[in-house]
Structure 1
């Protein structure tokens, strides 16, 4: 089988250890907006954009007058961690290995430009990244596939030429809408069973685990 021409990566929770930071700082945002949302429920929604996350957790028919307070507090509290972000095990080496095999490397992220810059600094692999997207590149967030389509457009590749690596069921759902195979990692806190049940074509523990099995993974043979 032919190896995919490109490997696209989610970044938050997939390559950089941010999932639980987002969960806790969203919790602080909800408290500032007078909502008491359990952190476990918030964690399950991380991976959506803020518009989808609020609708998912609070309902689309809510009083939206407190939305900006919620987002602002989350942004402020999460922003305090930006200079402390750490890559997940094997993340940088995985990206370098993909690049060395001649495949295009894309960071298909819907993080804000500031957040993406901080994650790229933590990864320190800009020399092997061909394409990177952020929130401004897509109108709708996951589970809509807009950000993946934006990365495809920038990379000049079609959906059947790439594999996506993510850590949430929202990544898997977005890929399914484009027909892109999604390899999932459990390092974002979602279980193997949930990710496989959502349609992931393979599940690994973290980037290091995927790297250790790279030759027999979907990144080698789509």
Structure 2
């Protein structure tokens, strides 16, 4: 089985980095930062797509400047203190990595540099057989990242599951024809995950591990 994980809001609690960087990006062009809830609503999208949604009336020049300010601030924050993993996430990834019947992958709206930095900082370089990020694909919910992970790992859609905390993750997985699991501890409300058709919703990493284990066993 192929388990494809989102990063921000699913295995990594990066909301403080994200909201601070977005505030710095807005302030760099003289705009008032948005409420945290609005910023977290776009987590998972690529930055350009996120800014279209956050600043629909702004010029492309303004949106590009906010993106540049965001990237500069996030890079500084990451260098000082990379975003932590959620308690229990590392242990789950370690156990799944040791299973012979499970392959791990990532599909994230993060940049390649940001993803690599997080993976290396937390010592997860050997855990994932496929790392898909915003630099190489259209923004979620386009299925490109999941399709690439399937191709790279040699798995079929019916052998895979997408795990994420946002409606974009669930929509992406459904568009690629894989099963989907929503997690309740991330940045979109559970109701939003249900509305877009998540196959299952879990409330902690123990429940997620049990569900993934059952899926893997069922494929033998």
Q: TM above 0.5, one fold?
A: yes
2:58 corresponding residue in structure 1: 62
Among candidates 10, 13, 20, match of residue 14 of structure 1 = 10
Contact conserved, 2:44 with 2:166, CA < 8 A, in 1? Answer: yes
2:135 corresponding residue in structure 1: 136
Q: Which runs of 5+ in 2 are unaligned?
A: none
1:97 corresponding residue in structure 2: 95
Give me the whole-angstrom Cα distance separating, in 2, the residues matched to 1:221 and 1:199.
Answer: 22
Q: Which runs of 5+ in 1 are unaligned?
A: none
- Tell me: CA distance 1:220–1:200, structure 2 relative to 1, closer, same or farther (3 Å): farther
- Tell me: CA distance 1:81–1:186, structure 2 relative to 1, closer, same or farther (3 Å): farther
Contact conserved, 1:111 with 1:135, CA < 8 A, in 2? Answer: yes
Contact conserved, 1:133 with 1:147, CA < 8 A, in 2? Answer: yes
Contact conserved, 1:86 with 1:122, CA < 8 A, in 2? Answer: no
Give me the whole-angstrom Cα distance separating, in 2, the residues matched to 1:109 and 1:220.
Answer: 26
Contact conserved, 1:172 with 1:182, CA < 8 A, in 2? Answer: yes
How much does 1:213 deviate? 5.4
- Tell me: CA distance 1:205–1:24, structure 2 relative to 1, closer, same or farther (3 Å): farther
How much does 1:116 deviate? 0.6
**Number of residue pairs matched?**
215
Contact conserved, 2:51 with 2:67, CA < 8 A, in 1? Answer: no
Give me the whole-angstrom Cα distance separating, in 1, the residues matched to 2:73 and 2:38.
Answer: 19
- Tell me: CA distance 1:114–1:135, structure 2 relative to 1, closer, same or farther (3 Å): same
- Tell me: CA distance 1:220–1:163, structure 2 relative to 1, closer, same or farther (3 Å): farther
Contact conserved, 1:8 with 1:107, CA < 8 A, in 2? Answer: yes
How much does 1:50 deviate? 0.9
2:145 corresponding residue in structure 1: 147
Among candidates 25, 30, 38, match of residue 26 of structure 2 = 30
Among candidates 45, 48, 51, match of residue 51 of structure 1 = 48
How much does 1:215 deviate? 4.0
2:105 corresponding residue in structure 1: 106
Give me the whole-angstrom Cα distance separating, in 1, the residues matched to 2:43 and 2:207.
Answer: 22
How much does 1:220 deviate? 5.2
How much does 1:25 deviate? 1.5
RMSD (Å), alpha carbons: 2.2
Contact conserved, 1:163 with 1:180, CA < 8 A, in 2? Answer: yes
- Tell me: CA distance 1:62–1:9, structure 2 relative to 1, closer, same or farther (3 Å): same
